[in-house]
A and B are shown apart, each in its own frame.
Chain A
């Protein structure tokens, strides 16, 4: 199937919001089953990169290819946003939210069929929420909602999954559940890009690290890239989380 080539290729790519912030000089190639941690301080352009791959932020330079095409084919890319501002009173059940992941494949007029319901069921089982399927989405806890939105991203059966700061505000149980899900998806050949400022997470589930701070600082295997020098360059004077402690990286002069 898609193991013939990389799922995602960036060659000198730059994404920029119209008249706003951007991220430049990105060089990256992601294979099926590979997990890449996108690491950088706040404002480094992590979300801009993920939204650029989705086509929500314009590519202003270089090349972007998803599964060999310059535009991501329908349903190929799944996305878990950083924090969705969703109305807790909205009358919609968890399984209906997850079904939204199928809409891109269904198009305008077709309604979900048996196969779509099976995919939704499987996605809910993957994130461990099958028993909550018919609950109203707004009644779920914050961590469960986040896992529900991940299930929605999975329901599109993506070859590439983009996770924007998925661990923010999660308790240990939900964090572990999410890590398990990422491992399961990797074993199924899904390529994953996960933006985070949590260096431990990168060591736990990711093969590759992409360090960015408005442009690419480094990219490669976790142990090669997460060097003190690189992290210093990237996080100069900014707090970094290591082992749940926040360390302030001094700048080059050692202040």
Chain B
């Protein structure tokens, strides 16, 4: 198989096309939300939410089959977002709050899943996703959930950045911190929901965290962070799917699609990290040369 086949022709296959569409929308939205996560230092809260979604998925699956996944996850994630926001506000440190929510919800999820007949298979699908077997009917709900997250952050973007930079100043200017926190945590939760049934609850964290962190390596200009993160997310999603396809179909190595996508995200981050180190070293050398 030629690289062109893997990068372009492969996506003419319906299941690959659906995977690409959902992953592109998801990774673009996750990148935008992820820049705010990075600026606010909410990485661990995001981690907690990915786990909080798990029992929602499990209960949704038990009650309504695969059609119950998205509603179940959405309810669990939004409940988790509200709980975490209130915990942190009540003075519980966010690390402790996250640890409590994370372990409690995960254990509930495992108990629910263990009641079903195909314990191992279902657990794997929930944890690691099923990006290549997204049903045609699932595409619209997933895209809607992702776009809802995008709408939440788009409506509060200026205020979110203000609060990230100077929470006191933002409050003094009349912004309601609790509302902004609920909106941002809600957006994170929705991204996790959309990601949970595609790349899985564990791997979706990479889609949220990596592009924002990569953008911080590439730029110190505030409004440039967002396009950089979006580019990192979209290109990594595309390359990841193509690579998985090439390996599985072309080379006969069966790579799990979701994990391959995440591996490419991390590889792109590593490349940008190396680029940053080289640039910093060159800058230091230039500064030393001037002396």
Chain A residues in contact with chain B, CB under 8 A?
51, 54-56, 74, 79, 81, 84-87, 90-93, 96-97, 100-101, 103-104, 106, 108-109, 111, 136, 149, 152, 156
When distances are taken between beta carbons in the complex, the residues of chain B under 8 Å from A86 are 165-166
Q: Which of A81, A97, A136, A152 is the one whose CB lies under 8 Å from B168?
A: A81
Known pairs A84-B169, A100-B166; A136 contacts B220 (CB<8 A): yes
Report how far A90 CA is from B161 CA in the complex, Å: 10
A60 to chain B, nearest CB (A): 19
CB pair A109 B155 closer than 8 Å: yes
Q: Which of B162, B171, B172, B220 is the one whose CB lies under 8 Å from A91?
A: B220
Report how far A55 CA is from B171 CA in the complex, Å: 10
CB pair A74 B159 closer than 8 Å: no
CB pair A156 B155 closer than 8 Å: no
CB pair A56 B172 closer than 8 Å: yes
CB pair A104 B173 closer than 8 Å: yes
Taken residue by residue from 192 to 205, chain B's Cβ proximity to chain A (1 for < 8 Å, 0 otherwise) reads as 00000000000000
When distances are taken between beta carbons in the complex, the residues of chain A under 8 Å from B159 are 103, 108
Report how far A90 CA is from B216 CA in the complex, Å: 10
Please list the 6 inter-chain residue pairs (A to B) with the smallest Cβ-Cβ separation, ordered nearest first.
Answer: A91-B220, A79-B172, A92-B222, A100-B162, A104-B173, A90-B165
Report how far A109 CA is from B155 CA in the complex, Å: 6
When distances are taken between beta carbons in the complex, the residues of chain B under 8 Å from A87 are 165
Report how far A91 CA is from B39 CA in the complex, Å: 9
CB pair B174 A74 closer than 8 Å: yes
CB pair B216 A91 closer than 8 Å: yes
CB pair A56 B173 closer than 8 Å: no
CB pair A108 B172 closer than 8 Å: no
Report how far A27 CA is from B254 CA in the complex, Å: 78
When distances are taken between beta carbons in the complex, the residues of chain B under 8 Å from A85 are 168
A32 to chain B, nearest CB (A): 22
Beyond contacts A81-B168, A91-B225, A136-B220: 12 other A-B pairs, Cβ-Cβ < 8 A, are A56-B172, A79-B172, A84-B166, A85-B168, A92-B222, A96-B222, A100-B170, A103-B159, A103-B162, A103-B173, A103-B175, A152-B169
CB pair A90 B158 closer than 8 Å: no
B289 to chain A, nearest CB (A): 21
Taken residue by residue from 140 to 176, chain B's Cβ proximity to chain A (1 for < 8 Å, 0 otherwise) reads as 0000000000000001101101101110111111110
Interface residue count on the B side (C-beta < 8 Å):
24
Report how far A103 CA is from B170 CA in the complex, Å: 9
Task: Confirm or deny: B291 has a beta carbon within 8 angstroms of a beta carbon on chain A.
Answer: no
A164 to chain B, nearest CB (A): 10
Q: Which of B155, B161, B165 is the one whose CB lies under 8 Å from A108?
A: B155
CB pair B219 A91 closer than 8 Å: yes
Report how far A109 CA is from B164 CA in the complex, Å: 18
Task: Confirm or deny: B115 has a beta carbon within 8 angstroms of a beta carbon on chain A.
Answer: no
CB pair B222 A93 closer than 8 Å: yes
When distances are taken between beta carbons in the complex, the residues of chain B under 8 Å from A103 are 158-159, 162, 173, 175
Minimal Cβ-Cβ distance residue in B for A109: B155
Report how far A199 CA is from B155 CA in the complex, Å: 46
Q: Could you say which of A79, A86, A91, A109 has the most chain B C-beta atoms within 10 Å of its C-beta? A: A91
When distances are taken between beta carbons in the complex, the residues of chain B under 8 Å from A152 are 169
B160 to chain A, nearest CB (A): 11
Report how far A135 CA is from B155 CA in the complex, Å: 27
Q: Which of A56, A96, A136 is the one whose CB lies under 8 Å from B171?
A: A56
Known pairs A91-B225, A92-B165; A100 contacts B173 (CB<8 A): yes
A159 to chain B, nearest CB (A): 15
When distances are taken between beta carbons in the complex, the residues of chain A under 8 Å from B171 are 56
Residues 77-102 of B at the A interface (beta carbon under 8 Å): none
CB pair B162 A54 closer than 8 Å: no
Can you name 28 A-B pairs with beta carbons within 8 Å? Answer: A54-B172, A56-B172, A74-B174, A79-B169, A79-B172, A81-B168, A81-B172, A84-B168, A84-B169, A86-B165, A87-B165, A90-B39, A90-B164, A91-B216, A91-B219, A91-B225, A93-B222, A96-B222, A100-B165, A100-B173, A103-B159, A103-B162, A103-B173, A104-B173, A108-B155, A109-B155, A111-B158, A156-B173
